[in-house]
Structure 1
Amino acid sequence: MQSKNSVKIKNSNIKAGINLLHDKLSRLEEELKTLRNIAVAFSGGVDSTFLLKVAKEVLGKNAAAITIDSPLYPRRELDHAIKFTADNKIKHFIIKNDCFIKPDFTKNDKLRCYYCKNDAFTKIIETAKTQGFINIADGQNKDDSSDYRPGADAALELGVMSPLKKHGFTKEDIRQLSKEMGISGWDRPAFACLASRVPYGTRITPSLLEKIDRLESFLIEKGFVQVRVRHHGKIARIEIAKEDFPGMLGKNLMEEVVSEFKKAGYIYVTLDLEGYNAGSLNRLIL
């Protein structure tokens, strides 16, 4: 049983944490107020959704979203982004982008993300300027610095702002504030582009990404929330949250998963015993 003093200390720590969180939000809002307008590179994920919502509240009609429509992202992600901007009456510009015409992307070396982001941000900046937006921001947060993300270099080189990272927002901060603000999807699972499922050096093709997307959608339909299907030639390595292991290992579902993956061309179907691990393929180069 906790003593009264320990309860007071715990409550004091919680209050201090909440105050720190709202201080970050205040600093973000103050920075946005100094801008005439802003266009947010909007994927529909938790981070860019939070930034866009705050920008809309601070700048009103002078905040907009720009989304890349690419084979690298499932249609469900684009649909979510479109619904959010419509529900919140935010200007939304959508740009078609065929990354497969770029040899630097399809060869899939360790700078793939840099080439892809450089191309995407260049298009976003062009669209923003055409529409009269002079400031462009993305949804990078403090936690992103802990992983290998060459795409962040492309953003920096092109002058794209990363205000969430600048003000020290972590993913948990963003989820907590998004929940407080009533932002739909605050608890959505983290999502990375489908190319991140393919080891560096393996050529990326439309059919490969379509297969990965189809299999991840299959697992999501079966009730798994955080899902990755990592492609290793004829081996599929499934990553799900550890707490979901019992569901996956039920006899009927396990056989159904194996059957579905083998129909897609995999000879071996494996479950990663470490569970879901963001950016796990980066271990091959770090």
Structure 2
Amino acid sequence: MTSLIELLNWFDDKDKVLVSLSGGVDSALVAYAANKKLGKNAIAVTADYKTLSSEELDSAKSVAHEIGITHSIIEYSELENENFVKNDNKRCFYCRDELSTELIKLSDSLKINTIVDGTQSDDMGDYRPGIDALHRNGIRSPLLEVKFTKENVRKIAKNVGLSIYDKPSNSCLASRIPWGQRVTAEKLARIELSEKIIKQKIGVQQVRVRDINGLARIEVELDKLTLLDDVKTKNEIFSKLKMIGFSKVEINPNGYVSGSLNVILEN
């Protein structure tokens, strides 16, 4: 298994680094290693680009405090980027290309030459144009370069005491909207609120509410589907989701599958 020493050694020849901290365990481990190796010369930054859930933003703030790394928040709105809003199959590319621009802007102002993120080996198995955009812009991925897998990340994060070592993977709220259907502030708001409602009601950590032309498709992990079997619980959830703007609600019997909306649907 790849070791923490290898990750720490990656930073040996770096004077300063800027860590793109998303709120997940992968970038948290990178921030931990950078801070351990470089101290005050490691700075974490989280982009609040208006498609990041408040839960993820709070997670990033919390883990930065836990690590003790200097943490900055940059704000801009992806909803002002028409390439992103039109939501074609390069949405993630446009998202990460814009993020790269903002990170480079900040790193230049801080006179930092190296920007890093939390991409690891397992991320390379799916269609990930966002990763391509980051790497084209010179963003480095220490976990990928030293061949960390998600399993490695979680084990080492647990060993060093990071509280989010077992935090489920997440993605931006726009990923709940099928390609070909425009991303709007209204859709993002009802998706975020719906997922909070379901998490609170049935106590799950991993949930997706797919917004398909106003239809809410609820996805939880297969072994948690039985939590939605209770008629009263299901009716309460369905009723609340309709109250916040969904025209219809259904449960995906196949459970949660990453990238399940990576298809083009007509508007």
TM-score for the superposition, normalised by structure 2: 0.95
Residue 80 of structure 1 aligns to a residue whose secondary structure is: helix
Stretches of 4+ moved more than 6 A in 1? none
2:146 aligned with 1:190, yes or no? Answer: no
How big is each residue's C-alpha offset from its partner over 1:75-123, in whole Å with a ceiling of 9 and x where there is no partner? 1221221122223321111110111111101111111111111011110
Q: CA deviation at 1:59?
A: 1.2
Q: Give the counterpart of 2:260 among 256, 260, 280.
A: 280
Q: Partner amino acid for 1:249? A: D
**Structure 1: 5+ residue stretches without partners:** 1-19
Contact map agreement 2:176 2:211 (CA 8 A) in 1: yes
Q: CA deviation at 1:284?
A: 5.1
Q: CA deviation at 1:281?
A: 1.0
Identity %: 36
Counting only pairs closer than 5 Å after superposition, residues 26-105 of structure 1 correspond to structure 2 as: 26-105=5-84
Q: Partner amino acid for 2:240? A: E
Who is 2:230 aligned against? Answer: 250
Q: CA deviation at 1:283?
A: 4.9
Residue 280 of structure 1 aligns to a residue whose secondary structure is: coil
Who is 1:21 aligned against? Answer: 2
CA RMSD of aligned residues (A): 1.4
Larger Rg: 1
Moved more, 240-249 or 266-275: 266-275
Aligned residue pairs, count: 264
Q: Give the counterpart of 1:266 among 239, 246, 255.
A: 246
In structure 2, distance between residues paired with 1:127 and 1:59 = 18
How big is each residue's C-alpha offset from its partner over 1:219-278, in whole Å with a ceiling of 9 and x where there is no partner? 111212100001111321111011111111112111111111222333332111221111
How big is each residue's C-alpha offset from its partner over 1:38-66, in whole Å with a ceiling of 9 and x where there is no partner? 11111111110011001111111111101
Contact map agreement 1:234 1:265 (CA 8 A) in 2: yes
Q: Give the counterpart of 2:190 among 204, 207, 211.
A: 211
Who is 1:175 aligned against? Answer: 154
Q: Give the counterpart of 1:144 among 123, 136, 147.
A: 123
Q: CA deviation at 1:205?
A: 0.6
How big is each residue's C-alpha offset from its partner over 1:134-162, in whole Å with a ceiling of 9 and x where there is no partner? 10011011111111111111111110001
In structure 2, distance between residues paired with 1:87 and 1:243 = 31
Give the structure with the larger helix fraction: 1
Contact map agreement 2:26 2:153 (CA 8 A) in 1: yes
Contact map agreement 1:97 1:120 (CA 8 A) in 2: no
Q: Give the counterpart of 1:229 among 188, 209, 216.
A: 209
In structure 2, distance between residues paired with 1:226 and 1:85 = 22
Contact map agreement 1:46 1:174 (CA 8 A) in 2: yes
TM-score for the superposition, normalised by structure 1: 0.89
